[in-house]
């Protein structure tokens, strides 16, 4: 839409009009793919959180990772399993 509103010579306007149609078509064709990719990324982050990845560390001030923190040492495979099963209960795939 912005391309159509630019003040240009007629020859440029024709080219930009055609270009704007192509751009809008590309955006509409790839919107669903981009949304799917965003959702997949969110699920991967949730899985990583369940797995407590990276192991026994968490972000602290200024996004620096503290690997000396011992608060997560009580992490067990049973706890991870329970968290993953809970996460799986929330997962509802899109039937597309």
Per residue in 12-39, pLDDT tens?
Answer: 677 878 888 899 899 888 998 989 999 9
Contact partners, residue 87, CB within 8 Å, separation at least 6: 46, 47, 50
Report the pLDDT value the prediction gives residue 70, as an integer from 0 to 100. 52
Kindly tell me if the per-residue pLDDT of 1 is higher than 90: no
Please tell me the pTM assigned to this model: 0.54
Rounded-to-integer distance, Cα 50 and Cα 61, Å: 22
Report the pLDDT value the prediction gives residue 53, as an integer from 0 to 100. 79
Q: Which long-range contacts (CB under 8 A, 24 or more apart) does 33-39 make?
A: 36/94, 39/94
pLDDT tens figures, 40-96: 999 999 999 888 877 654 555 565 655 555 555 678 889 999 999 999 999 888 776
Quick one: DSSP state of residue 89?
H
Q: What share of the chain is helix, strand, coil (3-state, %, to 5)?
A: 65, 5, 30
Report the pLDDT value the prediction gives residue 12, as an integer from 0 to 100. 67
Position with higher pLDDT, 1 vs 45: 45
3-state secondary structure of 34: helix
């Amino acid at each position: 839409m912005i391309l159509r509103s630019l003040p240009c010579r007629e020859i440029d306007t024709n080219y930009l009009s055609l270009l704007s149609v192509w751009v809008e078509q590309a955006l509409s064709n790839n919107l669903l793919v981009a949304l799917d990719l965003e959702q997949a990324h969110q699920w991967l982050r949730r899985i990583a959180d369940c797995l407590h990845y990276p192991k026994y560390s968490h972000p602290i001030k200024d996004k620096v990772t503290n690997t000396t923190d011992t608060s997560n040492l009580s992490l067990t495979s049973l706890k991870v399993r329970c968290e993953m099963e809970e996460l799986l209960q929330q997962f509802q795939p899109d039937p597309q």
